[in-house]
Structure 1
Amino acid sequence: MIHSAFIRAAAPQLPPPHSIGPARNGSTENFAIEGRNLNYSVTTRQGKFVPILKDCSLRIPSGQFWMLLGPNGCGKSTLLKILAGLLNPIDGFVYVKKPKSFVFQNPDHQVVMPTVEADVAFGLGKFNMARDEIRSRVAKALDAVDMLDFLQRPVQTLSGGQKQRVAIAGALAEACKVLLLDELTTFLDEKDQIGVIKAVKNSLKNSEEVTALWVTHRLEELEYADGAVYMEDGRVIKHGDASSILDFIKVRQASYIDQINS
């Protein structure tokens, strides 16, 4: 699991992003994730400067399940990696409540131990814990993602969706406050897609302290979200409750189709 604290880049005195409404407890200050005016660019081998993120701002309320959407190449995975601490922005401000965990698109990059129990317990090795405490945490985390019956199952016998749920359980066992999830359902069949989404929802239901940000390109997954952020061309275009974002995207798509057909 990836853990990093607070990153403060070059511009600490930036204006706040657009309001997205209060968190569940009514507070406008209770955010688990905040990014302000984030910029990120890469330089090609030919020396060309290519901007990937352009003045991106977002806030995700604590204890909620939000999704990050947008066309391919719009910068959503790059933004998620900056929030995870895997990339550093050129400028801007990032705060993510810690500990946080990044769950990869391909679970084989993260699930490393031979059995489910051993894999979920793997990250706890850095803590000074008694065996009983480790077993308790592992069992609780697996129960949260509906995988407790698979405790002794060899990892190699699991489906892709089951491996993703084991990866999520590993993050929960470490008592993470923020889950950053990168297109977990891209290569999964429909049954595993729903299983992984429900595992995340159940994780938040079991602990109001956990917040999740899920990168996806599937509009149908929005029905499970509390809110969403929509990006285009490296920019955050809109954020708010899931139904309003879905309506916004559908209008956007219809307008694009009309332009093509006109």
Structure 2
Amino acid sequence: MTEFDRLSLPAIEVKDLSFAWKSGKVALDDCSLSVPRGEFWMLLGTNGSGKSTLLRSIAGLLTPQAGTIEIQGGLGIVFQNPDCQLVMPTVGADIAFGLVAENLTPSQVRHRVTEALNAVNLGELIRRPIYALSGGQKQRVAIAGAIARQIEVILFDEPTALLDPDAQLDLVAQVRELVKSRGLTALWVTHRLEELDYCDGAFLIENGRLVDRGDPQRMRQRLMREIEV
């Protein structure tokens, strides 16, 4: 496959995915979706609909019983609770830790860390202890870690769930800007309808199956009608 062919493919392609827990409960039922390269898409659904199971399957954290998943480029994930993935004592050290496997020179590591923090507007906090950060800042550090590793596709598992309303919208706006300015692809799980203002498109999952996709405002209207019923 040539580089041109690779770039023409969707960043995420999921086909006929099925997953059941050991109890026998089906979480994904012949589920398929495609996320265009360089776009910001959201995955919607009620609690228990299968959206987090789908995201974790794409991330490789769960192994589906059937179906295929294809990712074009490096893949990273940002969890609901950033404390689950920030492991070093300071901001700069945490991002540098993610680069250990790349055998970079100290100068290259410093450049990657600085550039990634500047991308999320946290350059001045490189020496800040992780414990002294706000929830929104911690999520930005997690995103910076993916940028430093030159990740092309980032999954977000309800990253605003633990943030206050202002921090929620600041984070989703930051991700939209990164997608547009850096050519990243993002798939973001949420149940907050106001976040749909920032994405290019949305998927709706019910009972483990994809039931709708497309314009985020049309999706918002559909969900609001369902809530009113």
TM range, normalised to the smaller chain?
over 0.9
User: Which protein has the larger Cα radius of gyration, Structure 1 or Structure 2?
Assistant: 1
Cα deviation, residue 249, structure 1: 1.8
Decide which structure has greater helix share.
2
Partner SS for 1:186: coil
Structure 1 gaps, min length 5? 1-27, 258-262
Aligned residue pairs total 224
Amino acid at match of 1:33: I
Cα deviation, residue 253, structure 1: 2.6
TM-score, with length taken from structure 2: 0.93
Q: Percent of pairs identical after alignment?
A: 47
Alignment partner, residue 25 of structure 1: none
Alignment partner, residue 120 of structure 1: 95
Is residue 2:39 matched to residue 1:39?
Answer: no
Structure 2 gaps, min length 5? 1-6
Contact 1:115 1:151 in 2 (8 A): yes
Cα deviation, residue 169, structure 1: 0.4
Quote the Cα distance in structure 1 between the aligned partners of 2:70 and 2:115. 28
Alignment partner, residue 3 of structure 2: none
Quote the Cα distance in structure 2 between the aligned partners of 1:244 and 1:123. 39
> Deviations for 1:92-136, whole angstroms, at most 9, x for unmatched residues?
111122310111111001011111111111111111212221111
Quote the Cα distance in structure 1 between the aligned partners of 2:137 and 2:55. 23
Amino acid at match of 2:10: F
Quote the Cα distance in structure 2 between the aligned partners of 1:55 and 1:248. 23
Quote the Cα distance in structure 1 between the aligned partners of 2:161 and 2:35. 23
Is residue 2:177 matched to residue 1:202?
Answer: yes
Cα deviation, residue 29, structure 1: 4.7
Amino acid at match of 1:141: A
Contact 1:69 1:216 in 2 (8 A): yes
Cα deviation, residue 168, structure 1: 0.6
Q: CA RMSD in A?
A: 1.6
Quote the Cα distance in structure 1 between the aligned partners of 2:156 and 2:222. 23
Contact 1:146 1:199 in 2 (8 A): no
Quote the Cα distance in structure 2 between the aligned partners of 1:199 and 1:170. 15
Is residue 2:223 matched to residue 1:249?
Answer: yes
Partner SS for 1:85: coil
Contact 1:123 1:170 in 2 (8 A): yes
Alignment partner, residue 113 of structure 2: 138
Alignment partner, residue 193 of structure 1: 168
Quote the Cα distance in structure 1 between the aligned partners of 2:166 and 2:88. 25
Quote the Cα distance in structure 2 between the aligned partners of 1:76 and 1:229. 10
1:228 to 188, 197, 202: 202
Q: 1:78 to 1:213 in 2, by over 3 A?
A: same
Partner SS for 1:78: helix
Contact 1:68 1:213 in 2 (8 A): yes
Partner SS for 1:40: strand
2:43 to 64, 68, 83: 68
Is residue 2:194 matched to residue 1:215?
Answer: no
1:172 to 147, 150, 153: 147
Quote the Cα distance in structure 2 between the aligned partners of 1:149 and 1:202. 20
Partner SS for 2:21: strand
Partner SS for 2:211: strand
> Deviations for 1:120-178, whole angstroms, at most 9, x for unmatched residues?
11111111212221111111111111111211111110011110110010011000011
> Deviations for 1:19-56, whole angstroms, at most 9, x for unmatched residues?
xxxxxxxxx95310011111100122xxxx21111111
Amino acid at match of 2:97: F
Runs of 4+ in 1 over 4 A off after TM superposition: none
Amino acid at match of 1:121: A
Quote the Cα distance in structure 1 between the aligned partners of 2:72 and 2:25. 30
Quote the Cα distance in structure 1 between the aligned partners of 2:73 and 2:66. 21
